[in-house]
Structures are given as C-alpha cells and as structure tokens.
Amino acid sequence: MPANRFATAMAAVVLLLCPAAPAWADRGGDTAPQPPAARPGDEPIGSVTLAPGSGADLIRLVEKTLPGARVYDLNLSDDGAAPYFELKADRGGEVWTAIVDAATRKMLRAQAEMPVSELGPETQRELAGFRRARMRLSEAVVIAEKVGRGRAISAGLHLNGGRLVFVVVVLSDGALKEITVEPDK
C-alpha cells in the first residue's frame, strides 16, 4: 500500500533526523561509538550518513549476490542500531531477506525467510504481477530517482486497480517524494 510505504519511510527519516539516545549508551564519557567519517559524495541525514549511490545499486548488489533472485522490496530501517537497508527478494519460490549497511553499502547478511506460498494473498498477487513484468525494481528506482532528483530509501510493489505499479519513496533535499512507476508504460 503506497500510504503505508510513505508513512514507513517518513518514520525512518524522522528516526534518522531525531534519533533518541540508545539506552545502552554511556552518557558520562566519550566511549559512545562514533559514526564513520564522512567521505566525498556521502549524503548526511541528521546524525546518519548514507554512502553515495543509487537504491538501484543496492538492488543489483543483492541480485548479483543471490543468483536467480529478483528484489521486490527496499526499505531504509533504523531499529536503534546503525541504519541499514532491508531488501526482500523472490528466489526460487522463497522469500529472501538481505541486510545492507547504509553507511558502507556492504551486505551484512542474506537468508531465506519463508516460502512465497506462505505470504498473504495480496502480496502473492503483487509478486505474480512482478514475475510477469518486464521491468525490474532497479529500473523503476532509476526512473524515480531521476524524476524525484534524489535517492530512493524505499521501493516496492502495489496493485492499483488490478495493475502492478512500483511505488518508490525518494529523499530529495530533505523532503520525501512518493513516485509511482508503471512497468508496462
């Protein structure tokens, strides 16, 4: 659902812009972990720095690392630890989850989660449309980043009137833009 994707992306950005101090942090000294130093091309978001590059690059990284996989979901997450991208892929009838560090763009792990047949009916319909589509999610992200003049922090599938669309949330100059890409146009 596009509204949920936008709200989730907004929550992630709010957490990144205004992070609460972790409960485990040493508040009395300088022993708290420091974020990695910014490099040329890095994009700061509040106290977080995202490494340069497109969301499409992350999708291609996962699809290259997991032969036969097609990524259908990309989300920037911050669960109180270092921010990361979570990507979901359909690989051989199984849902795979890959975690990529947002600052370094290195894959931290990838693992099979469940058979696609155990997903909810709406997600199964979206994936069925995705399998028929000629466009890959990475292509939709490239289009959305160009149109939105920013970087994708969230992307996924949605059925709109029974037709598959890609919904991409782009961060541009501190603002979030939701862009819908129709794969059959």
Q: Which of 136, 106, 112, 156 is nearest to 6 (CA)?
A: 156
Question: Burial of 37 by CB count in 10 Å (0-12 exposed, 13-18 middle, 19+ buried)?
Answer: exposed
What is the per-residue pLDDT for 66? Answer: 96
What is the per-residue pLDDT for 18? Answer: 39
Most confident of 1-5, 36-40, 76-80, 100-104: 100-104
Fold of 2-15+48-181: Nuclear Transport Factor 2; Chain: A, (3.10.450)
Q: CB neighbours (10 Å) of residue 60?
A: 15
User: Per-residue pLDDT tens for 101-159?
Assistant: 999 999 999 999 999 999 999 999 999 999 999 999 999 999 999 999 999 999 999 99
Q: Are 139 and 60 in contact (CB under 8 A)?
A: no
pTM across the whole model: 0.75
Angle among Cα 129, 130, 131 to the nearest 5 degrees reads: 90
Q: Name the token pair of 29.
A: 């000294």
Question: Could you give the CA distance from residue 153 to residue 34 in angstroms, rounded to a whole number?
Answer: 23
User: Per-residue pLDDT tens for 159-173?
Assistant: 999 999 999 999 999
